[in-house]
Amino acid sequence: MSDFVTEAFTLLSIGLCAIGTRTYARWSTVGFKGFKADDYFMVVAGVVYSLETAAAYIVGAWWKGLANNGMTDEQRVSLQPGSEEWNTRVGGSKTQLVGWSLYTLLLWLLKFCMCTFYSRLTQGVDNMKIRVNIGYVALAITYLATELSILLGCQPFHHNWQITPNPGNLCQPAISKIDLYVTVILNVLTDMYLMSIPLPMLWRAKIPLRRKILLGGMFGGGAFIMMAGILRCVLILRDPIGGAQQAGSWAVRETFVAVIIGNIPMIYPVFRGITRKFLDSAAFQSISLSRNTTSRANEEGDFHSGPASNGMDSKKKFGGGRTLYPLTTIGGGRASGSEERIVDAAQDHGMSRGESMGAKSQITVVTETIVQERDRQYNESTRQKSHWPLEGGD
């Protein structure tokens, strides 16, 4: 139990730090007025994640992993109402029911966050907007179905914590098959659909293979969540007593990974921005040293190129055109930032709808970058385009 507690609260701490970092990144980029629905959903998800971890802890620490499951009919009859074990099993059953509800609520909140992120990511691409809207509807329907299966699968409701007579499998929250099947199936289907939104575009994207693999891992992280959910289901079905406790451990791991995956698109640019600031600082020091060396050399007559030309070359080398992250709407801090989104290539070039119909359908990543130097500030609008053909080959 102590190992599970340590793991659960360690994962919770890391997850909450990820949510806090994401919130700070969004605030430093767009301010509170620029927050979107997924930013608020993620804060709520942090609260729900804390409650879910607390429920998992209570099941083991307070109720010793016991509930109204894993008992023979003889054991049920011999158990005295009001005894310590009776009260422990009743409390464990009620907490298991709460834990299921928090588990599904957290997963679907994170799904809504990703869907909202994809809506910004694909802004301007008509066919992708339809797919994102379908995702919203599918998530709403599947969450409602999942929650209703948990709350209404056992009737009357108080049978969820009934000890004797045997209330049946559907009224044993820890191992209820209707809860298992409905949650796992709908969870897997919705994750597969959400992954199908960015991955096809990423496959056709004309970006370096290393970055494509990185982004593929980020957007395809739902595969681990699906496997963890399926494993949780198998553990419970194979061992209704010990498996239910192991399933609780896997539920905590599954939701942790879901939290991290939901925040990576916003967190990654923060660390990349810090790295670039360090590299830029070193670059400017190198440029300054080069200028001083060139100036002294000119005074001695050893060189014919002045510091001005060197400065121009360094500006070309270290100036604009560097984006913080492909396929994300998050930039750096207040001093410098980058915002990217996917747009229709025909609209980007000012073509009419009729003219664009005859052209090859493409997706373009548009970047606007603001660069700040040490001695003076200047705004530089850079349009970097990576054409992703939607038809034909690369």
Please give the full DSSP string across 177-205, using - where no structure is assigned. Answer: HHHHHHHHHHHHHHHHHHHTTTHHHHHH-
Kindly state the DSSP code that residue 326 receives in the 8-state scheme.
T
Neighbours of 318 (CB within 10 A): 17
What pLDDT was estimated at residue 65? 86
The reported pLDDT for the residue numbered 266 is 83
Predicted model pTM: 0.72
| Helix, strand, coil fractions of the chain, as percent rounded to 5 | 70, 5, 25
Q: What distance in Å separates the CA atoms of residue 301 and residue 289, rounded to the nearest whole number?
A: 18
pLDDT tens string 313-350: 433 333 343 333 334 333 333 333 444 444 444 344 44
Q: In the prediction, which pLDDT does 217 show?
A: 74
The pLDDT value recorded for residue 29 is 84
**Chain CA centroid to CA 359, Å:** 35
Residues of the chain predicted below pLDDT 70 = 1, 125-126, 243-244, 273, 278-394
pLDDT given at position 376:
38
Give the model confidence (pLDDT) of 228-276 as tens digits. 888 888 888 888 777 667 777 778 888 999 999 889 888 877 777 677 7
Q: Which residues of 321-335 are buried (b: 16+ CB within 10 A; e: fewer)?
A: eebbbbbbbbbbeee
pLDDT (0 to 100) of residue 126: 66
19 close to 263: Cβ distance less than 8 angstroms: yes
Q: How confident is the model at residue 239, as a pLDDT? A: 80
Question: Which residue do the tokens 């301007």 mark?
Answer: 124
C-beta of residue 267 within 8 angstroms of C-beta of residue 21:
yes
* C-alpha–C-alpha distance, residues 113 and 95, integer Å: 27
**What domains appear along the chain, each with residue ranges and CATH number?**
2-273 (1.20.1070)
Residue 120's pLDDT is: 84
Q: How buried is residue 128: exposed, middle or buried, by Cβ count under 10 Å (0-12/13-18/19+)?
A: buried
